[in-house]
Structure 1
């Protein structure tokens, strides 16, 4: 199992949960190889780590050649993007964020799909901004919506490989104002990364689910 973006946050939680369930986990990120000992201590001693930048074709190709066959691939890469109202947004930064998250996923899957088992899967990551519009998040709304469409398109084009996505809501810790807002969600709180990670495992293990975006937001999109 390959987790791209698995060296921190949600990707690290997915890596840890999958390893605990017996998966052979390979963590790939820009810093993964340099942080091998740290990640092995956080996840498990038998993990592998690979340095990979989804924006660099040659680096992705070299990493995938070294990895070889893949049963499941999870992508949790997140671009650097400063929230801002549209009228004040840095469009160059938004463009780079789109390049990293959307086109980076496309590049990665295009290069990796021949290595993925026919009964395997790819699980992408979107976000609640693709389901509900929040002021200041126009760029992430567009990127996440595009990723959900990509999920459906690739489920058709790359079948029988299953392509799904997880749409996380607000994951703790968050700024005080978001934690306060979360009290009004049906769940009454923000999520832990471990709770959201379970959705990735579900999508990998479910043989008849493809082209689906699984929203894990505690009902945030409903209010």
Structure 2
């Protein structure tokens, strides 16, 4: 894996950071982006081998300039996103749902457009979606629409951009900062309840999902595929 270059968008925390660390440990030069100076400063202190950049994935000019500065990119991983969008449809604030699309779906599309001229012909694009695109969990219609839109990009782009490979990874419950909005006791209680229901009997770590993201990014025989890394969440009721 030496001499390869990865760009992980949204790589300062959670699954994105775990993926960046894994790809770097396997010999790649890894660039990560984030919008917040605090997280990038923390990254510079803890992960000196990762190259951090302050950039907004929703700004194609910034992402295009960054890709040009990096030069050739082999693996583009899109892991940016937000925490907005859940809730019963009757009460769902559509302004909030639009913001959720602005935080994830549109930045994914615009970043692909911006980075594509700098992506290696045998490179790859890996998108992060979520299990909500594949389940019937009440209260997740907005998230399902958002992540379903992300997954809908995969097959046509895999054909249109070939031989560049395009895949997505669909995680389920993952113990990441996404859950920090919940009080600690509530988070632990929900995780314990969910773990008992999941076929794998545990809530995933970011590192477990990162293994799947790295596989999608680096395996030369995978394209047009959504890899389910959800611990079986799509198979059982969790609501």
Same fold (TM over 0.5): yes
2:22 aligned to which of 13, 17, 20? 17
TM-score normalized with structure 1 length: 0.93
Q: Is the 8 A contact 2:172 2:231 kept in 1?
A: yes
Q: CA RMSD in A?
A: 1.6
Deviation at 1:109, TM superposition (A): 0.3
Q: How does 1:87-106 map to 2 (within 5 A)?
A: 87-106=90-109
Which residue is equivalent to 1:201?
214
Q: Is the 8 A contact 1:4 1:77 kept in 2?
A: yes
Unaligned runs of 5+ in 2: 1-5, 180-186
Q: Select 1:83's aligned residue among 71, 86, 89.
A: 86
Q: Tell me whether 1:132 sits opposite 2:135 in the alignment.
A: yes
For structure 1, the 5+ residue unaligned runs are none
CA distance in 2, matches of 1:93, 1:116: 33
CA distance in 1, matches of 2:191, 2:93: 23
CA 1:47 to 1:172, structure 2 compared with 1: closer, same or farther past 3 Å? Answer: closer
SS at match of 1:210: coil
**1:18-57 aligned within 5 A:** 18-31=23-36, 35-43=39-47, 45-57=48-60
* Partner SS state of residue 208, structure 1: coil
Match of 2:223, SS state, is: coil
Secondary structure of 2:27's match? Answer: coil
Matched ranges for 1:156-195 at <5 A: 156-172=159-175, 175=187, 176-195=189-208
Question: How far does the alpha carbon of each residue in 1:162-220 deviate from its partner, in whole angstroms, 9 at most, with x for none?
Answer: 00011001012662224312212110111011001000111122111101000001111
- 2:63 paired residue number: 60
The secondary structure found in structure 2 opposite 1:55 is: coil
Once the two structures are superposed, the pairs formed by residues 101-112 of structure 1 within 5 Å of their partners are 101-112=104-115
Q: Is the 8 A contact 2:85 2:142 kept in 1?
A: no
Distance in 1 between residues matched to 2:39 and 2:84, nearest whole Å: 24
Aligned partners of 1:35, 1:168: CA distance in 2, in Å? Answer: 23
Q: Residues of 2 paired with 1:20 and 1:70: CA distance?
A: 17
Q: Deviations over 1:99-130 (max 9, x none)?
A: 22111101000111121111110110000101
Query: 3-state DSSP class of the match of 1:124?
Result: strand
**54-63 or 140-149, which deviates more:** 54-63
- Secondary structure of 2:174's counterpart equals coil
**How many pairs are equivalent?**
221
